[in-house]
Amino acid sequence: MAAILEVTGLHKHFGGIHVTQDVNFSMEEGEQSAIIGPNGAGKSTFMNLLTGYYRCDAGKVVFEGQDITNRPPHWVARRGISRAFQISSIFSKMTVAENVRSAVHAQMRHSFSIFGVASRIGVEETGRVLSLCGLEGKRDLVAGELAQGDKKRLELAIALAGKPRLLFLDEPTAGMSIEEARSTMELVDRLNRELQLTVLFTEHDMGIVFNHARKLTLMHRGEIVVQGTPEEVRANEIAQKVYLGEHHP
């Protein structure tokens, strides 16, 4: 399979502190994998570098054969990379459907000149995304009043409005009950399977990681220290020392 993402020699420092060091990383199309590592390892920074939220000090990011290094976030998003981070992407006073529709319109503004056409297609696209995320029945609810699991679904729906081919999820199940986490990750699995969406997520719960990632990358102090299948990483001595040991006593 072709590589959808190729990262080489990525460096980032804040002041004198190197938070990303010589990171080489790639993803194949359709893959669903996870980045794990202790607090402060550099996982979120890595995602911020790939999506243009932070500038890289050195290195190269290539997406679908195109160099996207240090392109601004909106450019990266329009190119086909989406991210769902915190709840902050949701407009809490708008309804579920209005949230998705505004994301769909924001994405389409650049592809259509006749607003009438954009508007009709926007309605169809909003319906498609709501149904994909199991939110049709909740489309008229006020977003701010949703349960945590539904907020995450809505956040995913907003991320999908741009029809991304690569999706980054930073701790998608943080703050959720076990049941909400399970249903959120089932949705992620389904998006990966049905849309052939390539997914990279960070997660501290090793149960979720081992159930939902086919490949793991372990980061420690800004460097990739181990990469492989969940079984390979679980059996790796460095991984046990750096991270897994403390989570699986």
Ligand X SMILES: Nc1ncnc2c1ncn2[C@@H]1O[C@H](COP(=O)(O)OP(=O)(O)OP(=O)(O)O)[C@@H](O)[C@H]1O
41 is a contact residue toward ligand X (CB under 6 A): yes
Give me the least distance between CB of 184 and ligand X, in Å please. 18
181 is a contact residue toward ligand X (CB under 6 A): no
Select the residue interacting with ligand X from 25, 27, 34, 42 (CB under 6 A).
Answer: 42
Element spanning 186, H or E:
helix 178-195
Task: Find the part of the chain contacting ligand X (CB under 6 A) among 43-51, 56-64, 70-78, 120-128.
Answer: 43-51
If contact means CB under 5 to 8 A according to the sort of partner, which of ligand X, Mg ion, none does residue 39 touch?
A: ligand X
If contact means CB under 5 to 8 A according to the sort of partner, which of Mg ion, ligand X, none does residue 52 touch?
A: none
Longest CA pairwise span in the chain (Å): 60
Select the residue interacting with Mg ion from 44, 107, 198, 236 (CB under 5 A).
Answer: 44
Residues in the chain: 249
207 is a contact residue toward ligand X (CB under 6 A): no
The 10 Å Cβ neighbour count of residue 109 is 12
Beta strands at 166-170 and 81-84: parallel, antiparallel or unpaired: parallel
Asked if 92 and 142 count as a contact pair (C-beta separation under 8 A), the reply is yes
Asked if 155 and 89 count as a contact pair (C-beta separation under 8 A), the reply is yes
173 is a contact residue toward Mg ion (CB under 5 A): no
d(CA 101, CA 161): 8
Sites of contact with ligand X (CB under 6 A): 14, 19, 37, 39-45
Sites of contact with Mg ion (CB under 5 A): 43-44
